[in-house]
Structures are given as C-alpha cells and as structure tokens.
Structure 1
C-alpha cells in the first residue's frame, strides 16, 4: 500500500497535540498538588494552633476574658434601648461573671492538687502522685512533680539499701575486733579500746534502726503496752517520775518505745544541772492517748538550733565535745519512733531547761 506523501505532517501534528496535552495535564497535576499542599499546611497549622490554644492555660484565659467582655458589651448595649434595662442587665452581668469565674476556677483547680503534692513531698511521702487533669502547663508541671518524686524515692531507696548493706557488713569485723580487744591485758588502753568499739557498735545499731524506722508504721510490732511500766524502768538516780493515775493501755511497739524513753532520759541526764532539780519524767492523759514528757534543768538549746534538732548527726555546738558522747542520732531515733506511732516529737526550751514530749494514742 502506498502512503500519502503528507502523512508525516499529520503524524507530527498529532504528536505535537499529544505532547501539549501531556504538558497541560502535568501542569494541572502540579497545580493540584501545590493547592493540596497549601491546604494541608494550612490545615496542619490550624490544628497546631488549635491544639496550642486548647492546651495553653494563658490562651484559654484570654479566650474567657474576650468572651466575657463581648457578652458584657452586648448586654450593656441592649440595656440602653429599654427603660428597664438595668433591672435585667445587672443580674445578667452577674450571671456571666459567675460563669466566667467558674470556668477559670476549673482551669486553675489543678494548682490545689500541686499544693497538696508539695505538702506531701515536704512530709517525705514520695509515693504520693499529683493527678494530671489537663494537658496544659499545669499538667506538664504535675508530670514533672511526679517524675521528681519518683527520682527522689529511687535515690532514697538506693541510699537506704547501701547504708543497710554497709552496716550489716561492719558488724562482723566489729564483733571480731571486740573479741580480740578483750584478750588484751587489763589497763587503760584496753578499756579505751572497748569503749571505742562499743560506740561503733551503738552507731551501727542506731543506723540500722533509723533505716528500719524510715518505712514508718510498717516497721512496728504493735502490742498492748503499759507506758507507766516502761517509764518505771527508766527511773534511777537523778530522775523523778510523775504518773497520772488511770492511764489507758495503748497499742505500741514496746522495744521502740523503750528506745525512745532511754534516749530522752539519757539526753536529759547528760545536760541536766542537778543543783536546780532532778530530770522530770511525766505521763499524763491527753484525750484518748497519753503524753510523755521529759524535762531537764540545764542550759537549754540555742534558739537557732531548735528547728534542726532531730535531724541525723546534728548536735548543737555546745554538745560537740568528746566528753558529751553521742553522734547525733539519739533524738533522730526518738523522732522516727514518734512518727512511726503517728505522733510527733515536740522540743522546746523552758525556763529553766529543755523539754521534749510525745503524744501516743
């Protein structure tokens, strides 16, 4: 078959049309893709700003104030057109203001939970968790509070485990050293060595006891206990006992209360001025419980040191002498025993002397 001599022109014309059509379709596709990207970016930006507004306390407060101002303006504008406008405008303004106050109060309500959490952390209750109500700045702060509490609790648990392990490991070589010291010939050196080893033993025992009491009430072995009987065991030279009749029997840890009594009485005897009077050990009814009070007639404690008494290894400057003895754990153990029994060790200067008291219930 013979081709027309101009067939190639028609083919070229058709190819050019196809090429233009493809280019037009590519441009349309590119324009559609660009418009979709612009719309998508705008959509994402809107969602981002909406989320930022939704989870931003400041932005929501501004929104509440703007709505309050707008509604108040509308109410005041409409009240001008009525002769009795003020009769309904004032209650309406109060209602709108009350609604705005309720909304704002709901927004800042988590701040109260943060305050309760901070108070719990101050008491050492690091297991407390602040509820995360909103995902705004206050919610972020609550999450950081909880993370801080978890980190502190982990640090304290690690410290407690390390201290318990070291104290347990030290008891065996200390016992062997005491046995070797008792084989030394009698004399001042032997007595001094045994005294030093006894102080080390007491220190390790106090450290172990303080760490056990750190867990609070769970460390106690409660049973019916007569405080008057335990107080009579501490009576000796220089101690005067005063017991109110008819005291109730309480659920206490006998060994820990004996430790508290012994430390308070020995501390009072160490600082008492016998020329002024004997150490007073008193038991009196306090509601349904019993208040234990130990008072000496010494020089007391400097006012700036009262707040730090009961902290581990703390002693006032006046007591930092070797002749006084102790390492600053006696009052700390007393405080821990009182807190484990849901009580509180109260210490204050009296005229003359110093007084420590605990209420058991």
Structure 2
C-alpha cells in the first residue's frame, strides 16, 4: 500500500512502535541490572557473614580437609606404593588444617589473659581485637566492660576523696569542742571515738591515693633496718640481717605498712607462746620483711579475703579487737605500689604477713 505524501499517520504509528520497543528493552535491561545487583549484594552479604563467622570458617576448613583427604586416598589406591606418599600427605594436610584452626582461635588466649588482668584489678588492660568475628565482638565487649568499670571506680574514688576531705573540718571542730568537756569517762570515750574517726578518714584518703599505684609514691633511698628498729617495743622481737642494701622506697608509706602489721600482730598475739617476731632478711638482690604473731590465726576460708577493704574475719568482729578492716588493705596497697605482693598465711601456730622489696 502506497502512503500518500501528506499522510503522516504511518509515521506516528512507526514512532509509537519504536518507543514501545525501546521501553521494552529498557525494562529488560533494568530487570537484568536489578537481578545482577541483588545477586551481587547477596554474594557480599554471604561473604561478609562467612568472613566474620568463626563457625563458618571452621566448617570450611573441615570441608577442605575432608576433600583433600579423600583425593589423597583415592589417588593412592591406584598406585602400588600409594601409602608411602599418602600418609605423609595426609599428615601434612592435617598439620596445615591444625595451624589454620589454631590461628583462628588464637584470640581466645588473649581473652584469657585479659580476664586474668581484670581479676587482678588491671582495668587499663585492653584485649586486642584480631578478627571481626564472634571472638572479636567478645573482645570488644570485654574492653568496653573494663572501660565502664574503670570509670565507675574513678567516680567512686573521687567521691570518697571529696567526702573524706569535707569530713576533716567538722571532725577537727568536734575534737576542739570535746577538749572543753570536763574530764571524765565520757570525755575520754568521746575523744577515743573522734580519734578512731580521724584514723578512718586518714586510712580512706591513703587507700584512695595508693589506688593509683606506683605514681603515688615518693621514692628515696631508704634503710629498712632503721624502720624496723623504730618498732622496738614491749612484746616485739627484732631479727635484722647484717649488710642489707639501701633501696629506693617510699619511707612514710612503708612506715605506715610496718606499723599496721606490728599493731595487728600485737592485737592477736598470745604472749604466753612468744613475742611478735619482726624479721628483715636478704632475699636475693632485695629484702624480705615478715611479721609473725603466735595467736589463733585465721580460718583458712578467710585467707583469700584478707586485705580487702573493710573485711575482717568473724573472730575479729568485736569492738575491743580494733580496726574497721583497712589496716591490711593499706599494707596490701603499699606492697603493690612498690611492685611487690603482701603474702598472708597461717604459721601454725600464729599468723605471718610478709613482703619482698627490691
């Protein structure tokens, strides 16, 4: 059919057909692109899940190990001397799989070390995040927990320091007023109570200062023999080795530690069995200090808690047997600040506290 030269309807129909064809091609291309994009995203998602999943990687290692072992055994059956090379090959493949698995679970050792550090109170320790898998997520949560606990302890320390400082002024005024009271049992009891409150506040302040460790010390050359001789009193026997070295120590803190240990020993000692023994002996390049009494000792189940703030064994929870449970805590903090450790044990009979200084 011949189109009239002035009839443009056929041109419009042709144009509409071309537009429909182009739209159809565009829809097909868009569908293919979306399908490919979905497949690409799904592949990346599975790849990320595999990469960050310890279980998936372990399954992959076992699958590769099983396939490699099967191939080695199948190949060895067709040879007369197959076992001669199959056994070393199997051992090699197994060794490689063991090395890969050990590398995957190596962060567990770092987690164990971090848990031990946290149990010692070293909340500044951080567990390295090696892989972004379940173990890495656990390590990150460990570090976050340590940071939160450290922040909580810092807040508690700041609060105790502030309260202790604020209590000093009214306590001093109360003592001045008590001095004006007429002499008698009431005045003596009041002064004794105020003295105990003063000692408690001083112990709290000192324990919080020592909480920062070695940085709280003021080190200087110290002769421990002179410090021990200052404790010479009735009921105390001194045993000091000759030619002891002079060590860089905080004299005031060690004096406080030694005084608390001796007073604690005198409080629980049985004089009929013997006097309190204070020994200062050479220990390698350093010096070992020990204080022993001949009292009833401490129940074995209470030994791990000794040295904790405000802890006292049941046998010592009486008004007449002294402190509030900060004496041994201060001794422990002084020892730890000097890089040592306060060792507490039942000496049978009696009780012994010792520490090594270098």
The bucket for the TM-score relative to the shorter chain is over 0.9
Partner of 2:233: 236
Give the drift of 1:16.
3.5
Partner of 2:255: 258
Partner of 1:119: 116
C-alpha RMSD over aligned residues: 1.6
Q: Does 1:306 align with 2:303?
A: yes
Q: Give CA deviations for 1:159-214 in whole Å, capped at 9, x if unaligned.
A: 11111111111111111111111122212111111111111110010001001111
Give the drift of 1:44.
0.2
TM-score, normalization by structure 1: 0.95
Q: Does 1:66 align with 2:63?
A: yes
Q: Does 1:359 align with 2:356?
A: yes
Q: Give CA deviations for 1:28-63 in whole Å, capped at 9, x if unaligned.
A: 222221221111011100011011111211111111
Partner of 1:271: 268
Partner of 1:133: 130
Give the drift of 1:14.
3.6
Q: Does 1:280 align with 2:277?
A: yes
Which shows bigger deviation, 316-325 or 201-210? Answer: 316-325
CA distance in 1, matches of 2:67, 2:96: 14
Give the drift of 1:153.
1.0
* 2:31 maps to which of 4, 29, 34: 34
Number of aligned positions between the proteins: 356
CA distance in 2, matches of 1:31, 1:166: 76
3-state SS of the aligned residue for 2:265?
helix
CA distance in 2, matches of 1:115, 1:325: 40
3-state SS of the aligned residue for 1:168?
helix
* 1:170 maps to which of 156, 164, 167: 167
* 1:341 maps to which of 315, 320, 338: 338
TM-score, normalization by structure 2: 0.96
CA distance in 2, matches of 1:196, 1:278: 29
Q: Which runs of 5+ in 2 are unaligned?
A: none
CA distance in 2, matches of 1:195, 1:148: 43
Q: Give CA deviations for 1:235-259 in whole Å, capped at 9, x if unaligned.
A: 1111111112222222111001110
* 2:324 maps to which of 327, 332, 350: 327
* 1:56 maps to which of 53, 74, 79: 53
Partner of 2:177: 180
3-state SS of the aligned residue for 1:356?
strand
CA distance in 2, matches of 1:143, 1:94: 36
Q: Give CA deviations for 1:59-101 in whole Å, capped at 9, x if unaligned.
A: 1111111111111111111111111111111111111111111
CA distance in 2, matches of 1:314, 1:228: 31
